[in-house]
Amino acid sequence: MSKLQLSPNKVACLQKLSDENGIISALAFDQRGALKRLMAQYQTEEPTVAQMEELKVLVADELTKYASSMLLDPEYGLPATKALDANAGLLLAYEKTGYDTTSTKRLPDCLDVWSAKRIKEQGADAVKFLLYYDVDSSDELNQQKQAYIERIGSECVAEDIPFFLEILAYDEKIADAGSAEYAKVKPHKVIGAMKVFSDPRFNIDVLKVEVPVNVKYVEGFGEGEIVYTREEAAAFFKAQDEATNLPYIYLSAGVSAKLFQETLVFAHESGANFNGVLCGRATWAGSVEAYIKDGEAAAREWLRTTGFENIDELNKVLQTTATSWTERVEA
């Protein structure tokens, strides 16, 4: 497969988003709906805008000194963009949170008052967009989604800013993504979607993707039912790597810090030349309870101890497992 060709400015932006070894060790905190749900577990009243904004500021302030960059949302994350470490790059999310639960279509939708131009003006080094995609949906539906991504890709070319596409695969006919039933089709769904969006017509620079298996069902990882042997799982990681010529990074999908780190080691051993991570809840989730129950000082204490340990351990794992994005880009 041919290597990705990037403009000088896109290269400079990717350098800002990665560490000195070309590895993207990014902190994801563009959660909106998921953050509200997390906060609501610890308080009876609806989480406020001020609470959401403040927690994002605290995480940015305490942890971006250990991350190469941070992903935030323009809805609740703008105050946090001012708290980033001087060396940390910034990605901003362009999609509306969630999807219409009355339909299985999960159509993409941009934030109403944002554009790639406005995201760039805000100081971002990349535009991130999240797409739900089922490779086995009707051609009509998937053409609609593909056209939508083409528009964003063209916008990012016009603004000369990197485009990170986050793909969340799903099956229109399986409601429970955590089920063994879905685990069986997940490799096909994840790898198939990556193949589609590796086409140059989309102008995507980095893919943010799920690991191709549900690790809880891999022999030796999970407690319960086994869907994949270790050999089968390893083959899926290798197939995922071969499915794209683009730089790609893994999302943590809400699993624990320890399980995510173990997964990265397994991916590397399986021959996956991934280029880093955008790790969210696996790093900061525990700070939510501390913040809601005991306030700012308690949240900072959690972030400085457990939060730091999570990100520090993750960085150590990345240095031995991830490869530089420059290897996938034409020099």
Determine the pLDDT at residue 173.
Answer: 98
pLDDT number for residue 151: 98
Q: Work out the mean pLDDT of the chain and round it to a whole number.
A: 97
Cβ proximity of 261 and 314 under 8 Å: yes
- What is the spatial distance between Cα 329 and Cα 6, in angstroms, rounded to a whole number? 7
Half-sphere exposure of 94 (CA within 13 A, CB side): 32
Element (H, E) at 149: helix 139-159
Query: Model's pTM, two decimal places?
Result: 0.98
Residue 331 pLDDT: 75
Tell me the angle at which helices 286-294 and 33-40 cross, rounded to the nearest 10 degrees: 50
- For residue range 110-140, what is the model confidence (pLDDT) as tens digits? 999 999 999 999 999 999 999 999 999 999 9
- 36-77 tens-digit pLDDT: 999 999 999 999 999 999 999 999 999 999 999 999 999 999
The C-alpha atoms of residue 86 and residue 104 are separated, in whole angstroms, by 42
CATH class of segment(s) 8-323: alpha beta
Query: Tens digit of pLDDT per residue, the chain (331 long)?
Result: 789 999 999 999 999 999 999 999 999 999 999 999 999 999 999 999 999 999 999 999 999 999 999 999 999 999 999 999 999 999 999 999 999 999 999 999 999 999 999 999 999 999 999 999 999 999 999 999 999 999 999 999 999 999 999 999 999 999 999 999 999 999 999 999 999 999 999 999 999 999 999 999 999 998 899 999 999 999 999 999 999 999 999 999 989 999 999 999 999 999 999 999 999 999 999 999 999 999 999 999 999 999 999 999 999 999 999 999 999 999 7
- CA–CA separation, 228 vs 180, rounded Å? 10
Per domain, the residue ranges of the chain are 8-323
Strand runs (DSSP E) across the chain, as ranges? Answer: 24-29, 69-72, 89-93, 126-133, 163-169, 206-209, 248-251, 276-279
What residues contact 266, with CB distance under 8 A and at least 6 apart?
215, 218, 221, 233, 234, 237
Q: 158: how many CB neighbours lie within 10 A of its CB?
A: 11
> Which residue, among 14, 18, 23, 13, has the nearest Cα to 316 in the 3D structure?
23
Q: List, in order, residues 6 or more apart from 276 with CB less than 8 Å away.
A: 18, 23, 24, 25, 26, 68, 249, 250, 318, 322, 325
Strand-pairing partners, residue 132, are 168
Find out whether 32 and 75 touch, Cβ atoms under 8 Å: yes
